Amino acid sequence: MTRGPRPAGWANQVVDARTGASTAWSDLPPVQLPAPAAVVVPSSYDALPAVRGHAETGAELLVVAAGRLEENLRAELGTAGFNLVQGDQVEPASDPREAEEGRVWLLTSGSTGRPKRIGHTLGSLTTVSGDLPVRRWLCPYSPGTYAWWQVVTLGLGSPGQDLVVVDPAELDSWVQAAIEHGVTAASGTPTFWRQTIMSNGDDLAKVPLEQVSLGGEPVDQAVMDQLRTFFPGARISWIYASSEVGASVVVHDGRAGFPVEWLDREVPDRPRISVEGDELVIASPYHGSGLEGAVHTGDRVAVEDGRVLITGRLDRDEINVGGAKVSAGVVRSVLQAHPDVAWAAVRGRRAPLVGTMVVADVVLNSGKTDDPDALAALSKWCQERLPEYGIPRRIKLLDAIPAKETLKSDV
Amino acid sequence: MSSVSRSELRTLMREVLTAQGKSLPDDESAQLSDIGFRSLDFSELALRVEDEIDEELNFDAAGLRQITTVGDVLNLLTEIQDQ
């Protein structure tokens, strides 16, 4: 059965970075899955035939990376009526039900706890429309996450948007693959970009990027400024998106945060963004199923110099130091703005007298873990820029940027 | 269990003050308010001790008491490591 018109990007190429093989969407092997199907894939590229199948038949689909499928998630999916498809193996749902046509399920990245399922359709996942410049996109995200679907639906739904698919597990080699395959646009988390600059900085500028996108984590000015030095001619954008509200804020001026004038604006078919207390609240046309109206995002914002900055998760960003409130995100931005710092994470640590103190983990560009001079310089840097209670009193140096399959470092 | 000796505590306390551009006098009866050793500094010193012994200090066990001199700080942090 063919359902509706074929996707506009049917002729776009998808490149498997592991083998270099390039195939048009329409030439991917069509797969018939027992809907509702949860497809467990060993790699990102392996998920594309299932997406092709869904685009053709509308059969209910959920995609999950094998690395994320823990025992309790497997059981949960079975109970929720999904047939679990892994290679040739099909494990029938423990609690079978009728399939819902056109439905695509996403798993949240889990930075807010265990992964949740959010219902979408290819339509609600496609947030970019209109004429786009011809581009070849890097897709580095974990299959089945919102960010992955964003890049995949762009490739499937918009003419002239090719994909080069790499796996989160093979990120060390993405720069070489991107040079080889002429990638002109890449989307990643700030952690992804920081890791790349640290490990592949020498070659990064050779990737002919015209579009650099960041999202999935709070985006600070320092990482965008660094990317600007590698790609002086590229458009550098950051995107606020989540499985719940979709891609809701897109900023192209190369600056952190978005203009305060964007708050509480009513524009037809565009998300309405507001702030309640210090929480970001969004009513979005790209929302997941059942999430109509204003959604409290759980993300904390701060307004500074006419820009609304997203500083981190509400439940983790605020550190109370003896009654004084500190934003972990603000402290992290200060640390990451230091020229010797590749990455930083900031948290509260239980301490006598003041209850909690601000402490930080830092990765230096040098990768050194024993560097008293650098620590002293960082303390001084923070003293000049933060109130006394906001200065991290303990800084631990790590030798590498920690990151998970979601490309986030959980800050 | 490892512990931090009184003289090592002095060294750590000096490091905390030095990082703030202050100094630690030899006189243990020196008033904390005079040398600018404040609650944040005390908290940082406690975290440094915890990192040395790889264990969280239990301040509840120490009970309420006045801490006004350098000696008070060294006494308290020596005692609670033994709790």
List pLDDT tens digits, range A218-229.
899 999 999 999
Span B38-53, average pLDDT: 92
Residues of A in contact with B19 (CB under 8 A): 376, 379
User: What range defines the domain where residue A101 resides?
Assistant: 12-138
According to the model, what pLDDT value does residue A2 have? Answer: 45
Check residue B66 and report its DSSP letter: -
CATH number of residue A373's parent domain? 3.30.300.30
Predicted confidence (pLDDT) per residue in A225-244, tens digit: 999 999 999 999 999 988 88
Inside any domain, residue A67? yes
Q: For A290-346, how does the pLDDT look when each residue is reduced to its tens digit (9 = 90+)?
A: 888 899 999 999 999 999 999 988 888 989 998 888 999 999 999 999 999 999 999
Give the position of tokens 């000015």.
A221
pLDDT of B83 over the 90 cut: no
**CB within 8 Å: A354 and B19:** no
Question: For residue A113, what pLDDT is reported?
Answer: 56
Tell me which of A138, A155, A184 is where a domain ends.
Answer: A138
Split into its structural domains, chain A has a count of 2
**Is the Cβ pair A350, B56 closer than 8 Å?**
yes
User: pLDDT tier at A391 (50, 70, 90 boundaries)?
Assistant: very high
Tell me, yes or no, whether A200 lies in a domain: no
Residue % of chain A over a pLDDT of 90: 70
Is A245 among the domain residues? no
- What are the tens digits of pLDDT across the range A139-190? 999 899 899 999 999 999 999 999 999 987 777 789 999 999 999 999 999 9
CB contact under 8 A, B48 and A359: no
Q: What is the mean pLDDT of residues A5-13?
A: 85
What's the Rg (C-alpha) of chain B? 12
Mutate to test the interface with B, among A380, A394, A396 (most CBs of B within 10 A): A394
Residue among B19, B56, B59 whose CB faces A379 most closely: B19
> Between A and B, how many CB-CB pairs are < 8 A?
38
Last residue of a domain, one of A104, A138, A172: A138
What is the rounded CA–CA span in Å between residue A177 and residue A163?
12
Whether a cis peptide bond, with omega within 30° of 0, leads into A190 is no
The more confidently predicted of residues A84 and A68 is A84
- What's the average model confidence in pLDDT over A79-99? 95
Helix axes A146-157, A48-57, angle to 10 degrees: 60
ipTM of the complex: 0.89
CA distance B59 to chain A (A): 7
CA distance B7 to chain A (A): 21
CB contact under 8 A, A393 and B43: yes
Percent of chain A at pLDDT exceeding 70? 96
Residue A238 forms part of a structural domain: no
- How far apart CA B60 and CA A105 sit, in angstroms, is 50
The fold adopted by the segment(s) B6-81 is 1.10.1200
Whether residue A78 lies inside any domain: the answer is yes
Instruction: Mutation target for A interface from B42, B47, B59: give the one with most A CBs within 10 A.
Output: B47
Distance from CA of A325 to the nearest CA of B (A): 14
Does residue A49 fall inside a structural domain? yes
A104-107/A89-91 β-pairing: unpaired
Percent of the residues in chain B that have a pLDDT greater than 90, as a whole number: 64
pLDDT score recorded for residue A28? 93
Closest CA to A108 of A243, A218, A217: A243
pLDDT at res. A360: 97
Residue where one domain finishes, among candidates A109, A138, A167: A138
Confidence of residue B1 (pLDDT cuts 50, 70, 90): low
SS3 call for A241: strand
Indicate whether A277 belongs to any domain: no
Contacts of B39 in chain A (CB under 8 A): 322, 353-354
Q: Tell me the mean pLDDT in the region A32-47.
A: 93
Are the Cβ atoms of A389 and B44 closer than 8 angstroms?
A: no
Residue type, A277: G
- Over residues A194-214, the pLDDT tens digits come to 989 988 889 999 999 999 999
What pLDDT does A411 receive? 43
Is residue A109 over pLDDT 80? no
